[in-house]
Structure 1
Amino acid sequence: MTTIPKIPRRIVTGHKNGKSVIAEDAIVNNVSEDFPGLVISDIWSTDSMPVDLEKETRIPNTAIPHTPVNGSYFRYVHIPPDKDLGIMPTSAGEPHPLMHQTQTLDYIIILSGEIYLILEEGETLLKAGDIVVQRGTNHAWSNRSDTPCIQLAILLDAKK
């Protein structure tokens, strides 16, 4: 069984002398761990549409992303089990302690493990291969399993 790393390798392509080349091949260095084991690696960001292919917009890595106006944000997230984060199950009617909202359209792909997507009214269990289209809703992630969940998220700035 292949283990997925907490921090991914990023390969960036580019052009040199009119030919396509590998411009960068390295482990991602824009990484945060705001809670032990909850590792967020920000892979790439843009700040315009259409995108300037020669520009990389580096922005601070934070638990709650601040997607640039007219931009995008690409992140890799390693989410440990709730019990490893010290998150206890909430009582009925109480919001999840990591509930948050961003003004973005998010495409989220579950790569491995499983996780619950929690909304203000309802929740659903997601497994590897599932895809979420998250449209600016108040939400949280709850990993109630014994293994980490890996997800990729692409966030696009949305109209307010």
Structure 2
Amino acid sequence: MLTNRRVVTGHNEEGASCVVFDSTMDALPLPYPPVALAWVTDGLVASNEGSDDTCTAVPSIELWNAHNAKFILMEMQPGDEHPTHQTDTVDFAVVLSGHVRLTLDTEEVILGPGDLMVDRGARHAWNVHGNEPAVMVAVIVPAHPRSGKDA
């Protein structure tokens, strides 16, 4: 289970840089592999004002399709299935450990530690390739829907 530390910086009342949050990230209660939400911006052009924790949203498809950026950490165990899905986003992902199988409509790709993937709204699914858990980090940003997009 995810137990990663999250350190968020900001500014104090005098304008000096400081740590605003230093805590363990909890996995979101989702019906598929654990995802921890490290940060959510308040819009496409993020604000660095305030000191509110933006990671209190209830997970839903609306959260993933909202017009803001998300920074997530995902852990998958062998046998876990991250279901086929498609969102109006561009996802920038990095495999930190283990190996994952990226399944697309026309092919499969095996990704390992250090491999980068940019998903441009393509229908896809994830699962672990091998017997070791896999951990990925991703930044998800909104995108215009693709014309002719399949449901």
TM-score, normalised by the number of residues in structure 1: 0.79
Name the structure 2 match of 1:106.
Answer: 91
Judged with a 3 Å threshold, the aligned counterparts in structure 2 of structure 1 residues 101 and 68 are, in CA distance, closer, same or farther, namely same
Judged with a 3 Å threshold, the aligned counterparts in structure 2 of structure 1 residues 31 and 152 are, in CA distance, closer, same or farther, namely same
Structure 1: gaps (5+ residues): 88-96
Name the structure 1 match of 2:115.
Answer: 130
Tell me the C-alpha RMSD between the 2 structures: 2.1
How much does 1:147 deviate?
A: 0.8
- 2:9 is the counterpart of 1:24: no
Judged with a 3 Å threshold, the aligned counterparts in structure 2 of structure 1 residues 114 and 138 are, in CA distance, closer, same or farther, namely same
8 Å contact from structure 1 (residues 13, 23) kept in 2: yes
Distance 1:78 1:116 in 2: 13
Which of 59, 62, 87 is 2:57 aligned to?
A: 59
Distance 1:139 1:65 in 2: 18
Name the structure 2 match of 1:8.
Answer: 4
Q: Please identify runs of 4+ aligned residues in structure 1 that moved more than 6 A.
A: none
Which of 27, 31, 36 is 1:34 aligned to?
A: 31
Distance 2:128 2:63 in 1: 20
Name the structure 2 match of 1:94.
Answer: none
Name the structure 2 match of 1:155.
Answer: 140
- 2:140 is the counterpart of 1:144: no
Structure 2: gaps (5+ residues): 146-151
Find the residue that maps to 2:129 and give its secondary structure: coil
Judged with a 3 Å threshold, the aligned counterparts in structure 2 of structure 1 residues 46 and 111 are, in CA distance, closer, same or farther, namely same
Find the residue that maps to 2:45 and give its secondary structure: coil
One-letter amino acid of the structure 2 residue matched with residue 146 of structure 1: N
How much does 1:34 deviate?
A: 2.4
Number of residue pairs aligned between Structure 1 and Structure 2: 141
Name the structure 2 match of 1:90.
Answer: none
Judged with a 3 Å threshold, the aligned counterparts in structure 2 of structure 1 residues 118 and 32 are, in CA distance, closer, same or farther, namely same
- 2:66 is the counterpart of 1:81: no
| Residues 58-102 of structure 1 deviation map (CA, whole Å, 9 limit, x = unaligned) | 422358952322x101110000012xx3x6xxxxxxxxx811111
TM-score, normalised by the number of residues in structure 2: 0.83
One-letter amino acid of the structure 2 residue matched with residue 144 of structure 1: H
Distance 1:151 1:121 in 2: 23
One-letter amino acid of the structure 1 residue matched with residue 59 of structure 2: N
